[in-house]
Structure 1
């Protein structure tokens, strides 16, 4: 089996997340995409994050319509900090013999050298799917100098240019601005019903 691993805070999950996952599944030939929600992201210390149970409800609502998408509890059921390198080691044991492809946005690729144990993380994967937005320039040679062995693992995923970020959606809600079409219908309804991200 070929599995995609898509990690994030998903606060809230939005259309850009779904497009990246769907395009990755199609272009990389993934049988399933495991959505790994991070309870307590190490890189977001001091940033207000919605409670895990709320984010799980939002993500469940967002993924309900696609049978290829599945929420993994790999990071939920273990104490933090939850580093991606450890997540992949656990998934290797859960899915023996499977190929694991980690899915990233192009911006995250630039930050990879700052991740926890990045060299070990890269070595543990069969591939890394990187969302390649039109006009993006990725200096693979530069990244390869910091992380030898990375370039051969990268598979670019072509996807439409969508400048959508969860933090922008939260800000729009706080300001009372329109955000209706940035998120799936069910996520929009939950944000409204639960009064999330209000000032």
Structure 2
């Protein structure tokens, strides 16, 4: 089975994430998408993160009835700092019957040369990159690599940061997050 890992902070998970996963599944680009809500991204500040259990609850709610999407907690078993290469290696070693790839946003790929073990990651795993409107198609060192596939998918150009700012400003987030988690997010913020 071909599985693509979609790992991120998802603080919060939003319609951009949702539409991408939906499109990959509908196009049959991969057999399954495994989502890892990372406890702590080594490239991000922990102050931007909502509690891990809450972030996982939101993603589980979105995909509770979707058999092609699985929420993995593999990163919770790994040592810090959490690096994508180590996560993929752990998955490949635990599920040897499957082939794993990585789904990453073009905004994150732009800094790919700073990732831990970037060259080995590219040598051992396929990367599926979804461009965002603000991207320059990533690091020129890696962008032509045969292990990289630029996806021609329609994405919604929003970010978790924008959503958090809107919430802080008392603005609506109705069209930015899946409807099944909107009220949970608003209730959480009011606590």
In the superposition, the TM-score normalised over structure 1's length comes to: 0.86
The structure 1 segments of at least 4 consecutive aligned residues displaced by more than 6 Å after TM superposition are none
Tell me, yes or no, if the aligned pair for 2:133 and 2:157 is still in contact at 8 Å.
no
The range that moved more, 56-65 or 166-175, is: 56-65
CA–CA distance in 1 between the matches of 2:152 and 2:16?
13
CA–CA distance in 1 between the matches of 2:136 and 2:164?
28
Tell me, yes or no, if the aligned pair for 1:23 and 1:158 is still in contact at 8 Å.
no
CA–CA distance in 2 between the matches of 1:171 and 1:139?
26
Partner residue in 2 for 1:143 = 141
Partner residue in 1 for 2:162 = 168
Q: Secondary structure at the match of 1:6?
A: strand
Partner residue in 2 for 1:108 = 108
Partner residue in 2 for 1:14 = 14
Q: Secondary structure at the match of 1:100?
A: strand
Partner residue in 2 for 1:194 = 188
Deviation (angstroms), 1:46: 5.1
CA–CA distance in 2 between the matches of 1:172 and 1:47?
17
RMSD: 2.2
Deviation (angstroms), 1:62: 1.9
1:158-184 deviation line (CA, Å, top 9, x unaligned): 222422100100110110111111101
Deviation (angstroms), 1:6: 0.3
Q: Secondary structure at the match of 1:102?
A: strand
1:64-101 deviation line (CA, Å, top 9, x unaligned): 24221111011022332111010011000122132211
Tell me, yes or no, if the aligned pair for 1:133 and 1:159 is still in contact at 8 Å.
no
Partner residue in 2 for 1:5 = 5
In structure 1, runs of 5+ residues without a counterpart are none
Tell me, yes or no, if the aligned pair for 1:24 and 1:103 is still in contact at 8 Å.
no
In structure 2, runs of 5+ residues without a counterpart are none
Deviation (angstroms), 1:185: 1.3
Question: Is 1:130 matched with 2:124?
Answer: no
